Structure 1
Amino acid sequence: MSSKYQALKEECYAANMQLNELGLVVYTFGNVSAVDRENGVFAIKPSGVPYEDLKPEDIVILDYDNNIIEGNLRPSSDTKTHAYLYKNWDDIGGIAHTHAKFSVAWAQAQMDIPIFGTTHADHLTKDIPCAAPMRDDLIEGNYEHNTGIQIIDCFNEKELNHQEVEMVLLGNHGPFAWGKNAAKAVYNSKVLEVVAEMAYLTRQINPEAPRLKDSLIKKHYERKHGKDAYYGQ
């Protein structure tokens, strides 16, 4: 018997498989979720299931308060982070978390990724933010829920708009990315990893490399995202 959430499960499954195909996960570390705003639920990968064994019917459906609506498997250990973001940012449709090498390296260095080039500026006009490592009292509390708080607090402190900056690093942890749907969250995760690698190499070649100048940032971002955007068909 087909589930009323079958399409949502298929979307979530496809995004998780793409995360693996793009080389953004290590073994089972990493997850993508997809939201159904009309029904107030989201779908997420089950915890610890190898990608080669994953099936659409394994995907778990939950509400924004982490109650399992449908599914026989335990959801991702990061589920409470996804739920918190969906509850507080009601205009996002998908979230991805990876353990991708260069993204994690910048997170472990506790550094924002500077905007050095036009690949970065094609997607956002700011440095990619790195949130400070979580406070001890939050670590000892409801850790995954508090990770969501950590992300939103970072955006509030740095005065960033989550619709413009669709990615973040968590100090000593790793990257989260989001978007209008699960596929865009995966896309942003790959962009983040590529930009992280490029920035790392830039610093190796020239430790004093300057940030991209404002005129080029503006040009590259607006030709894709501005009111007179002309990139693509």
Structure 2
Amino acid sequence: MSYQSIKEECLAANLALPRTGLVDLTFGNVSVADPERRVFAIKPSGVAYDALTVDDMVVLDYDGNVIEGTLRPSSDAPTHRCLFLHFAGIRSVVHTHSRSAVAFAQAALDLPVLGTTHCDYFNGPVPVTRTMTPEEVGGAYEWETGKVIVERFAGIDPMDVPAVLVRNHGPFAWGASGAKAVENALALEIVADMAIKALSLNPAAPAAPGHLLEKHFSRKHGAGAYYGQAG
């Protein structure tokens, strides 16, 4: 059974991260899943981006077993696996330590909806998770990170808000493909940077009104979307 297609998509998405400026050193990783076969490919742990090849990608099943690859998978693989198991419709997860998004995670603040750039990608604030307990950190830490993200999304459609800020840690984003997940991670960093600058000018900057959020999000997403070209 070949996993070549998801390994190639995973490599392409990982190589896109340094080109976007979203990662420093070896921080960050992308996974790409085949939900029907319940497997996903992910970047190997600690390998420099400019050294990655398609054969370096590690394939795991949804139970966490390595089924192809000789390198150790990203240490964040259990978090990715948890999101694939709980968030229907996603095929790729991106984790970075991009600086502006991390600033909100470290400040323990949701990323507020201040303007239309945010509205185009996220149908509401990007939420920050709660602080993890000593038991969660001392146990199956990366799996528990995923569980805390899932907990925070109670009542939030992960396809409407395709990103989260893990408190004291950093952002995870996701999408229907590797390319889309990277795009969402980049959009998150862009709007986080804009928000920091806006709030530095006016700490009381009001949220964008709901009707503006609804208009901008719906014109790019859903059955009535009309932004861009058909197909």
Give TM class, smaller chain: over 0.9
C-alpha distance in 2, partners of 1:131/1:114? Answer: 14
Following TM superposition, the consecutive aligned residue runs of length 4 or more in structure 1 with deviations greater than 6 angstroms are: none
Q: Is residue 7 of structure 2 the alignment partner of residue 14 of structure 1?
A: no
Q: Could you tell me which residue of structure 2 aligns to residue 183 of structure 1?
A: 179
TM-score when scaled to structure 1?
Answer: 0.95
Equivalent pairs counted in the alignment come to 229
C-alpha distance in 2, partners of 1:97/1:109? Answer: 18
C-alpha distance in 1, partners of 2:188/2:126? Answer: 8
Match of 2:200 among 179, 196, 204: 204
C-alpha distance in 2, partners of 1:53/1:119? Answer: 34
Q: Could you tell me which residue of structure 1 aligns to residue 213 of structure 2?
A: 217
Residue identity in the other structure for 2:125: D
Residue identity in the other structure for 1:169: L
Q: Could you tell me which residue of structure 1 aligns to residue 39 of structure 2?
A: 41
Residue identity in the other structure for 2:46: G
Q: CA deviation at 1:89?
A: 2.1
Percent sequence identity over aligned pairs:
50
Q: Could you tell me which residue of structure 1 aligns to residue 88 of structure 2?
A: 90
Question: 3-state SS of the aligned residue for 1:39?
Answer: coil
Residue identity in the other structure for 1:162: P
Question: 3-state SS of the aligned residue for 1:134?
Answer: coil
Residues 88 and 218 (structure 1 numbering): CA distance in 2 closer, same or farther, change over 3 Å? closer
C-alpha distance in 2, partners of 1:179/1:50? Answer: 24
Q: CA deviation at 1:227?
A: 3.3
Q: CA deviation at 1:39?
A: 1.9
Question: 3-state SS of the aligned residue for 1:211?
Answer: coil
C-alpha distance in 2, partners of 1:178/1:228? Answer: 22
Question: 3-state SS of the aligned residue for 1:177?
Answer: strand
Q: RMSD between aligned alpha carbons?
A: 1.1
Residue identity in the other structure for 1:53: A
C-alpha distance in 2, partners of 1:161/1:222? Answer: 14
Instruction: Name structure 1 gaps, 5 residues minimum.
Output: none
Q: CA deviation at 1:51?
A: 0.6
Instruction: Name structure 2 gaps, 5 residues minimum.
Output: none
Give the alignment of 1:73-222 within 5 angstroms.
73-156=71-154, 159-222=155-218
TM-score when scaled to structure 2?
Answer: 0.96
Q: Deviations over 1:146-194 (max 9, x none)?
A: 01101000111xx211121110001100000011111111111000000
C-alpha distance in 2, partners of 1:4/1:45? Answer: 18
